[in-house]
Structure 1
Amino acid sequence: MENAIEAEGLRRTYRSRTGWLRPRTTEVHAVRGVDLTVGRGELFGLLGPNGAGKTTTIKMLNTLLIPSAGRARICGFDVERQTREVRRRIGYVFGGDRGLYERLSALDNLRYFAELYGVPAREQKRRIAELLEQVRLNGREHERVEGYSRGMRQRLHIARGLLHAPEVIFLDEPSIGVDPVAARELRATVANLAATGTTVLLTTHYMAEADELCDRIAVIADGEIQALGTPAELRHRADGRRVLEIEAYGVPAAALEDLQNLPGVREAAVEERGQVQVLTVQSDADVDVQQDVLRRLDGVRLGRVTSREPTLEDAYVAIISATAKKEPVIV
């Protein structure tokens, strides 16, 4: 299968000078040598924690940043030397509310951007009508964007990015801050893009979204690809584990460190979910650590306690934790 995206040894380093009398140059290595190939028509996921290098990688691939080293090609065109050809073939959609004119209707927004993107006038009406139907905004296109929900705005963002019929579209956390119903509609829209032959590179923090949509996933951390494979292949990273989830209120850092040292425990992490903390403990499948964990949490107010099979999110946590410990990750 021919590749739509190719990256070889892609790096991005930021340099800054501090001090006046004794100036000092510091370097931040945001991306440290990314090798990546995405096939035409593939829906590819790029996952990683904040600051891992996801957005920097995307911006180098879509010509918004110049790589410090390495090479990248989109549909065979070099992102540095053939910028114009690359930009004709890509669309870029980012999460958030920026990039639309709120006092204009959706229709007027799309007309404006169609002119900017060089869509021929004779094709604009047909193309805009097709996209409004594709993102399920037909019937609402005459309303001002300022009255749209966040989910509707994100779908309009996607329509805007597709106006010039790009071969590759970059979706940078498109469902961020979107309610569950709107997120489901967005996932359906994204899945339809890949089904019609558009190559999609998706970044997201929602593991269930990546699991449902992506053909393959790369996990990036510390500026490097740490794991790459299908969702099923990545889940193997958590094979042989059991997951214990505990609702809690105020887990002290010392207790978390104590849990990580229990026999059989692989990982322990706390996530804030509204007013509740969710403590997730991954352990060897043949070791029942529940009693020991609850004993260590004596004095902490607890809620529901559940034991379950590992998910892609658990595998992701295992990969990121192994990276922090500088352990090799094999998928």
Structure 2
Amino acid sequence: MGEHAIEAVGLHRSYRSRTGWLRPQRREVHAVAGVDLAVRHGELFGLLGPNGAGKTTTIKLLNTLLIPTGGEARICGFDVVRQTREVRRRIGYVFGGDRGLYDRLSARDNLRYFAELYGVPGREQKRRIAELFALVRLTGREDDRVESYSRGMRQRLHIARGLLHRPRVLFLDEPSIGVDPVAARELRQTVAELAATGTTVLLTTHYMAEADELCGRIAVIAGGRLQALGTPAELRHHADGRRVLEVQAYGVTDGQLAAIRARPGVREVSLAVHGAAQLLGVQSDAGVDVQADVLRELSGVRLGRVTARQPTLEDAYVAIVNRAAEPTPLVGGVPA
């Protein structure tokens, strides 16, 4: 246990749900279904997965906000169920969004208030708060009301709040959600600098570029289980032997997507919405040129840019998540 800041073995969380009124049906839902995880001290570790995959539930199990229904987890060697107080002294939790700060107070007064809640000794507060303002690059804006802060500045202040008591492990749950690209870049710089100080960081995010840039290792969770684990370069191997066709389109139907998926050589199909446009991604075997077939299936749809490229981490992620939806033998929570 000593070499790991975070360790989970067979972590499980289930709950019962009820549907219907006349003939109610009860079923057991497994939000987390046997997760094994080990994060080293000082590591910046990424946890990726689609909505409902179990990311946030896993974090809440690790930071004592939820009690596991099976398995065990330790933070810095302390059990999250039996030694909750010791765990909470060693962790910080930062979530995305605007909640958790007092808008009418200045940033400095916010941190003073939370420093009292976290039990930071009064003689240390002034120096610690100044250090944190410098770390999150808010020096000079300490006495501004938080209501005047941009969303990116708020998120950096959230991080400062989570670091007041010098936690050894920091959980960052989608910190850049809703943040504009410039603010997101500043946020990534803050996280990278934080990890360089030796703090262990567990980051969840939906942005593949963010995970690729920051994380030494990444775990992909889907269906409540870890489906892949490794460095960004290792995860890219899940898309080896493929090529990617990207098509900008306007009005692709579900029927057309199904027809493209059925074409020979097509391995994965994804569709993302960017404003009024759709971005269709088609992964195919490297030796198969599917462009003509795809464009034929899109007959009648207004098209924009069409490009072919090599797979990225995001393409590998799509392949991993789609594979998780198929019946696959699992060994220790990771597909064999």
The TM-score, its normalising length taken from structure 1, stands at: 0.97
Q: Distance in 1 between matches of 2:161 and 2:270?
A: 39
Distance 1:281 1:83, change over 3 A: same
Matches of 2:174 and 2:24, distance apart in 1: 38
CA displacement, residues 299-331 of structure 1 (integer Å, 9 cap, x when unaligned): 111000011110000000000111112246769
Q: How do 1:214-253 and structure 2 match up within 5 A?
A: 214-253=215-254
Q: Which residue of 1 aligns with 2:39?
A: 38
Give a deviation string over 1:134-157, Cα, whole Å, max 9, x none.
000010010000010000000000
Residue type matched to 1:248 in 2? A
Give distance in 2, aligned partners of 1:17 and 1:28.
Answer: 10
Aligned partners of 2:326 and 2:17: how far apart in 1? 28
Aligned length: 331
Compute the displacement of 1:194 (Å): 1.0
Once the 2 structures are TM-superposed, how far is the Cα of residue 20 of structure 1 from its aligned partner?
Answer: 7.9
TM-score, normalised relative to structure 2? 0.96
CA distance in 2, matches of 1:252, 1:18: 31
Looking at structure 1, the residues matched to 25 and 280 of structure 2 have their Cα atoms a distance apart, in angstroms, of 42
Structure 1 residue 189 corresponds to structure 2 residue 185: no
2:160 paired with 1:159: yes
Residues 3/292 of structure 1: CA separation in 2 closer, same or farther (3 Å cut): same
**Do structure 1's residue 76 and structure 2's residue 110 form an aligned pair?**
no
Q: Does structure 1 retain, via aligned residues, the 8 Å contact 2:98–2:151? A: yes
Q: How does 1:218-297 map to 2 (within 5 A)?
A: 218-297=219-298
Quick one: distance in 2 between partners of 1:34 and 1:323?
Answer: 14
The 1:225/1:107 distance shift into structure 2, 3 A limit, reads: same
CA offset digits 1:262-299 (Å, max 9, x no partner): 11110112111111000000001111111111111111
Helix, strand or coil: the match of 1:138?
A: coil
Aligned residue in 2 for 1:101? 102
Opposite residue 98 of structure 1, the aligned amino acid is R
Where structure 2 has 5 or more consecutive residues not aligned to the other structure, the ranges are none
Report the RMSD for the aligned CA atoms in angstroms. Answer: 1.5
Partner of 2:120: 119
CA contact (8 A) 2:328 2:335 kept: no
> How big is the shift at 1:170?
0.0
Q: What is the rounded CA distance, in whole Å, between the counterparts of 2:249 and 2:141 in structure 1?
A: 44
Alignment partner, residue 308 of structure 2? 307
* 1:46-57 equivalence runs, <5 A: 46-57=47-58
Aligned to 1:12: 13
Which residue in 2 is equivalent to 1:212? 213
User: What are the superposed Cα offsets for residues 31-62 of structure 1, whole Å, 9 maximum, x if unpaired?
Assistant: 00000000000000000000000000000000
Amino acid at match of 1:56: T
* Distance across 1 between alignment mates of 2:252 and 2:167: 48
Q: Give the AA of the match of 1:197.
A: G
Shift of 1:24: 4.9
The offset of 1:28, in angstroms, is: 1.2
Find the aligned partners of 1:32 and 1:330 in 2 and give their Cα distance.
13
What SS does the corresponding residue of 1:84 show, helix, strand or coil? helix
Task: Please report how far the alpha carbon of residue 17 of structure 1 lies from its aligned counterpart in structure 2 after TM superposition.
Answer: 4.9
In 1, Cα distance between equivalents of 2:306 and 2:155:
36
Q: Which runs of 4+ in 1 moved over 3 A?
A: 16-25, 327-331
Q: Identical aligned pairs, as a percentage?
A: 78
Question: For 1:321 and 1:5, how far apart are their aligned partners in 2?
Answer: 28
Q: Is the 8 A contact 2:260 2:297 kept in 1?
A: yes
Which residue of the partner structure matches residue 58 of structure 1? 59
